[in-house]
Structure 1
Amino acid sequence: MPRYHVVEAGRVVNTVLADGPNSLPGVVLVPDDGTAEIGWRYDGEVFIPPPPLPGPVPAVVSDRQFFHALAISSLITEAEALAAVRTGDIPAALQVVIDAMPKGERFAATMLVSGAVAFRRDHPLVEAVRYARGMTSDEVDDLFRLAGGL
């Protein structure tokens, strides 16, 4: 008995043994070509695999990785990234966030950004930058994934 993929709303939801196509409402049986799996899309002609799942988010990245990722993402300039790593200069986009903090928190934030050799994903300053830049948590996770790969 041949195998068929059960396709609902353009997505493979199961694979079954069947004598042939049937006429269940909203369900299409497509002959199994041996490549598709549950979760794949079907556009009426070919099966399309789902995009790869994102990798884990690094808990910590080096300062070089962090500033490099910020530059690649156009959140700071390449010159600012180099200056941050070489001399501890704070990029303008991060300085704006520090300047907006309560006076009692600015010194610690300045020390961290200018002198850290690593940045933690769960640090409150990362969240402050996220809010100030209007970024989603997923965008920050992607930034740390990018940094972790550099």
Structure 2
Amino acid sequence: MNGPDTETRGRIAEWADETLPDASDDTAEGWLDEVLGVIADAIASDEEDDDLFGGELDQDAAAGILAAAESWASVVSYAVGRVYAPTSPWPRRLAGWATKISARLNTILAALHAAMSAAVTTLSATFGITSYSIGLSFPWGVSVSLNF
């Protein structure tokens, strides 16, 4: 797993700038659903580059996978934040996430969990990581925590 490249990160930011200013709630949530689908597909493709479940990872590969998973989580949070982050006044006229957004986020979290689990198993002895968590919270999105 390599994480999002600069082109992907820039494309998502540009797409948000083009679509979201003055967008209706339906348009904004439609954009987020679409971009989360693109991100989910990219994560799935990125995971195919690694054999997360077929044997032991070396320390460097595990550290790279951990960094990539954290980076993907930040891109997801960026997209979620562009739609749902609070401002004054609150930009949306709908409460909470749409169900389709929650479903997309759960798919992404499952993929990140698989990568994090493989990486943390390898890194626990070296770095003293005792556990990790992947959180999902409204309105900001995804967070990754490592416990030492």
Which TM-score band (shorter chain)?
under 0.3
Task: Calculate the TM-score normalised by the size of structure 1.
Answer: 0.21
> In terms of Rg, which structure is larger?
1
Structure with greater strand share of residues: 1
Structure with greater helix share of residues: 2
